[in-house]
Structure 1
Amino acid sequence: MDQFNSQDTERSVVEKPRLQKSHELLTCTIKTPSFSYIHLELLTDPPGAAVELDNLQVKSYCTAALTQFLGLTGTAISLDILKVEASACWIRVPRDDLGPFAAALTAWKGTSDGGVKRLLRIKQCSDWLGTMAGSDGQDQLWNND
């Protein structure tokens, strides 16, 4: 009888291996991205002026701001215009140049044409374009307009 009991206990101790519910296929960590992204908005004075941006204006305004703030060094900053839509635009600069670019645009006093003052304002900037695109429109969340 002792043999029979010892065999039963051995069988109950052995468990089936459990299956994993998920598998990790790939792990990738990007520590320092090469570029930073900036969302700019054109402000006008008087505020109701109907002015739309185009690629040449964006490039001209950014170059003017960089030249005023950093001189010839500022014109060497690479600038890629990704999208221009009405009074907003999205640009890409090398990651290391984001600080000088933002400082130059913040210090820029703008330009006047036909009695309308124009100024580019930085709405947001990030090393990741997806975070900016996902947060577009959040500033309107609590407005009753």
Structure 2
Amino acid sequence: MSPLNDTKPKVAHFTARSPPWTYFKLQLIHQPGTSPSVQSQPLDPLTARTYLTTALSQFLGLTGTTISIDILRIFPDSPPPQDTTPTEKGVWIRVPRPDAAAVVSAVSSWIGGNSTGDAVGSVAWRVCAKGNYLGALVQGSGEDLFVP
């Protein structure tokens, strides 16, 4: 039998010892007493990016603004109807693994105010999930994370 006719499949093993990314699920929370109209405003990509960059800037200064943050998904995908209570708002993000500890510290200690500068209507981030493998965080294949 020639080596070319050998149909036995070759098995390849792959182990990721140091994954390059860390994934986070962050929830945007409002201070008690925030008006329902403020709470019902949808979270858009620009606002989410501004909140994240501000948190990193306040915690680490100019160095914090250089941390690469990829916004993977903003939830909920659509604003809630006017006659219902506000739904949970947040983001799934990806950051380089070496910067994960700094991101956790920055976003968990940040409290942002509204444009008028008063305490009523301020927001903060809550870290709901953190991990180096996205599939483990979403408890499954993760396909629902990227559904339009």
8 Å contact kept, 2:111–2:122:
no
Alpha-carbon distance change, 125 to 41 in structure 1, aligned in 2, over 3 angstroms: same
- Counterpart of 1:27 (choices 2, 6, 13) is 13
Which residue of the other structure, out of 34, 56, 60, is the alignment partner of 1:66? 56
Pair 1:105 & 2:95 matched: no
* 1:38–1:124 contact (8 Å) kept in structure 2: yes
Q: CA deviation at 1:112?
A: 2.5
Q: Are the aligned partners of 1:110 and 1:120 in contact in 2 as well (CA < 8 Å)?
A: no
Report which stretch shifted further, 29-38 or 104-113: 104-113
- Does the CA contact (< 8 Å) of 2:25 and 2:130 recur in 1? yes
Code of the residue aligned with 1:62 in structure 2: it is L
Contact 1:63 1:75 in 2 (8 A): yes
The correspondence of residues 119-138 of structure 1 with structure 2, limited to 5 A, is: 119-134=124-139
CA displacement at 1:27 relative to structure 2:
1.0
5+ residue gaps, structure 2, are 1-8, 77-88, 141-148
1 CA distance for matches of 2:115 and 2:46?
15
Aligned amino acid, residue 32 of structure 1: S
- Per the alignment, residue 77 of structure 1 pairs with 67
Q: Residue type of the partner of 1:26? A: A
- 1:51 offset after TM fit, Å? 3.1
CA distance in 2, matches of 1:36, 1:91: 8
Q: CA RMSD in A?
A: 1.9
Q: Which amino acid aligns with 1:100?
A: A
Q: Indicate the residue corresponding to 1:36 in structure 2.
A: 22
| TM-score, length basis structure 2 | 0.70
Shift, 1:85, TM fit: 1.2
Task: Give distance in 2, aligned partners of 1:59 and 1:93.
Answer: 13
1 or 2 for the larger relative contact order (CA 8 Å, sep ≥6)? Answer: 2
Aligned to 1:55: 45
Distance 1:24 1:134, change over 3 A: farther
SS of 1:112's partner is coil
